[in-house]
Structure 1
Amino acid sequence: MIKVGIVGGTGYTGVELLRLLAQHPKVELKAITSRKEAGMPVSEMFPNLRGRVNLKFADPSEAPLKHCDVVFFATPNGIAMQQTRELLDSGVRVIDLAADFRIKDVGVWEKWYGMEHACPDLIEEAVYGLPEMNREKVKTARLVANPGCYPTAAQLGFLPLIEAGVVDVEHLIADCKSGVSGAGRKAEVHALFAEASDNFKAYGVAGHRHLPEIKQGLSLMAGKQAGLTFVPHLTPLIRGIHATLYARLTKDVDLQALFEKRYESEHFVDVMPAGSHPETRSVRSANFCRIAVHRQQEGDMVVVLSVIDNLVKGASGQAVQNMNIMFRLDEAMGLEQIPLLP
């Protein structure tokens, strides 16, 4: 059994990790930390876990994290980098669901996240945990930087086009919409029911923290600097991301065949039939990315529609997928949940 610890188990990604790991056949949950809620039974905060998770939240200083095989950080940005080195030195593998190790350029990271990085030397070692790009590196990683939600949906949508070299990578557009759970489990006015319900708005148009992460991934795919216009939007949904991606074709290609071939062996990427329009509800609570590719009026513009659940394939589910790869388990183990409808 894999002994697992979770740091920061009180947020939406934390409870999603608990939901998935509690039913994983090869996992033993050893510790869940929260300074504020130390001593509280997990099921008291999250009644959906009653009878499945019998642990209490523990103070991080007292939790047996060094006795775990892997520790997940489901914490705000800036927390994992304070504790990761000590865990790695103790032989514990780390999967960070925040952004502490995603961006390789430390200066860029510090600019966008507004703080000094505590262990910049570990950034180079960290493996970016998008399995469809870096599966072989994840297998041997000690430290995995789990991708963000918008970056997951956008990169999986653009990946076949950029790898095949059939689009202009200098003028890509990602028009993305997210449910309110993407902002985390905290009290903020914009996420209040009366503010977010029956409303739709763009935000972060001048610059969003996920922009450098997406551009980094697209540039690695292309082998040169990619240009990206990224505009996120907040929608009155709890879960879900819908990414509408635009690129100009530079070569004539059978787009449907290109996407089907690229993802034919990927368990968690579903290329839908030609002409499809994937819906966020089709991936709710499941670790799937569903993709459809369109070419409008046989012109030179390709439109890719990519949908994920921001808390699963966009966060905790992908983290469990990475854990499975790191410990040489079936990649889909514990992640076969059917999406919820209605």
Structure 2
Amino acid sequence: MSEVRVAILGASGYTGAELVRMLAGHPEFRVTVLTGDRKAGQPLASVFPHLGMLKLPDLVAIADVDFSQVDAVFCCLPHGTTQEVIAGLPEHVSVVDLSADFRLTSLDAYAQWYGHEHKAPELQKKAIYGLTEIKRDAIRTARLVANPGCYPTSVQLPLVPLFKAGLIEAQDIIIDAKSGTSGAGRSAKEANLYCEVTEGIHAYGIASHRHAPEIEQELGLAAGQDVLVSFTPHLMPMSRGMLSTIYVRTAKGATAADLRAELSRVYAAEPFVGVLPEGAVPATRHVRGSNFCLMNVFDDRQPGRVIVTSVIDNLVKGASGQALQNMNLMFGLPETTNLAQQPLFP
């Protein structure tokens, strides 16, 4: 394979910086374009000093990029700004979009949850939802992949196989999820200031978070019927990490041991998904900085219910790591290429 020329749009944000870190030393991909409209003309090292040892192009405005000289694009732009940008790219460019702009297959649902009409409806029809372990075959031949949200990734990886196996009911599902503050992005917001976040925890987006329809869309496909979830995210005083605690009803006769056995079977050969031994509790510190998802299943005290726990790094498996995993597949590379980073601890 000849060298793949990569552009990262929105490289001045957290997911863009994480992609730069993960692409360093990639045997096939070379970063040739970094955009950051408000930081155009600056070296990336002035925005992210921790990347200062890498030889990288300076940040430029998207309008100044010659996409005829680009083979692959990671789009890390804010929601609502991506559709028109991607629609204007040459057909030869492969795209992984990290925003929510192409995740919802229903244009009506998109308009309802994001407050405006979809600006590239024909392109939406061609987008492939990029939960790698579940959609691998479709991703290989895709031109545009909609990278899943962080919360949906942490929820779907354990629940999709359980729905497909008929082990859980498609009702009365409660998702209590917690994320580090990097999930809110890098732009200055009063609610994300240190004094607003530290030494506390709070729920947000109660019954209205935009990841809910994404979760329900994909779980519904796995269950073969509509799925409605109670989903409440919480902001934690940490920079990265995500824990989802999920309460589900089991199918008649199914036990926590049955659910754990099915997840262990499905993910036995997966490089990035691990089912822990009985009784072991996943923790965000066990996946920090890695592309791993760890999970387990526990009996609830209520008969007929189980508790599923899942942890990821929201910036890696929940965003940039999964994006690279998908792009590797799109170019016929082992999906693990340059993703072998082990978790950071302590």
Residue 187 of structure 2 corresponds to residue 182 of structure 1: no
Structure 1 residue 23 displacement after superposition: 2.6
2:46 to 44, 47, 58: 44
1:324 to 316, 319, 328: 328
Corresponding residue number in structure 1 for 2:279: 275
Provide, for residues 315-340 of structure 1, a one-character-per-residue CA deviation record: whole Å limited to 9, x for no partner: 00000000011111111111100100
Equivalent residue of 2:216, what SS? helix
Corresponding residue number in structure 2 for 1:340: 344
Residue 297 of structure 2 corresponds to residue 296 of structure 1: no
Structure 1 residue 60 displacement after superposition: 1.0
Q: What is the alpha-carbon distance in structure 2 between the residues aligned to residue 54 and residue 79 of structure 1?
A: 25
Structure 1 residue 312 displacement after superposition: 0.3
Q: What is the alpha-carbon distance in structure 1 between the residues aligned to residue 252 and residue 25 of structure 2?
A: 46
Structure 2 contact 31–56 (Cα < 8 Å) conserved: no
Structure 1 residue 122 displacement after superposition: 1.2
Structure 1 residue 88 displacement after superposition: 4.3
4+ runs deviating over 6 angstroms? none
Structure 1 residue 67 displacement after superposition: 1.7
- The aligned runs of 1:153-164 (5 Å cut-off) are 153-164=154-165
Equivalent residue of 2:87, what SS? helix
Structure 1 residue 86 displacement after superposition: 2.4
Q: What is the alpha-carbon distance in structure 2 between the residues aligned to residue 269 and residue 292 of structure 1?
A: 11
Q: What is the alpha-carbon distance in structure 2 between the residues aligned to residue 124 and residue 201 of structure 1?
A: 37
What residue ranges of structure 1 are gaps of 5+ in the alignment? none
Q: What is the alpha-carbon distance in structure 2 between the residues aligned to residue 53 and residue 279 of structure 1?
A: 35
Deviates most, 186-195 or 79-88: 79-88
RMSD: 1.2
Provide, for residues 66-90 of structure 1, a one-character-per-residue CA deviation record: whole Å limited to 9, x for no partner: 321111110101222012122143x
Equivalent residue of 1:36, what SS? helix
- The aligned runs of 1:75-86 (5 Å cut-off) are 75-86=77-88
Structure 1 residue 102 displacement after superposition: 0.2
- The aligned runs of 1:305-324 (5 Å cut-off) are 305-324=309-328
What residue ranges of structure 2 are gaps of 5+ in the alignment? none
Q: What is the alpha-carbon distance in structure 2 between the residues aligned to residue 219 and residue 190 of structure 1?
A: 33
Q: How many positions carry a matched residue from both structures?
A: 341
Corresponding residue number in structure 2 for 1:246: 247
Q: TM-score, normalised by structure 1?
A: 0.97
- The aligned runs of 1:1-342 (5 Å cut-off) are 1-89=3-91, 91-253=92-254, 254-297=258-301, 299-342=303-346
Q: What is the alpha-carbon distance in structure 1 between the residues aligned to residue 86 and residue 102 of structure 2?
A: 10
Q: What is the alpha-carbon distance in structure 2 between the residues aligned to residue 337 and residue 323 of structure 1?
A: 17
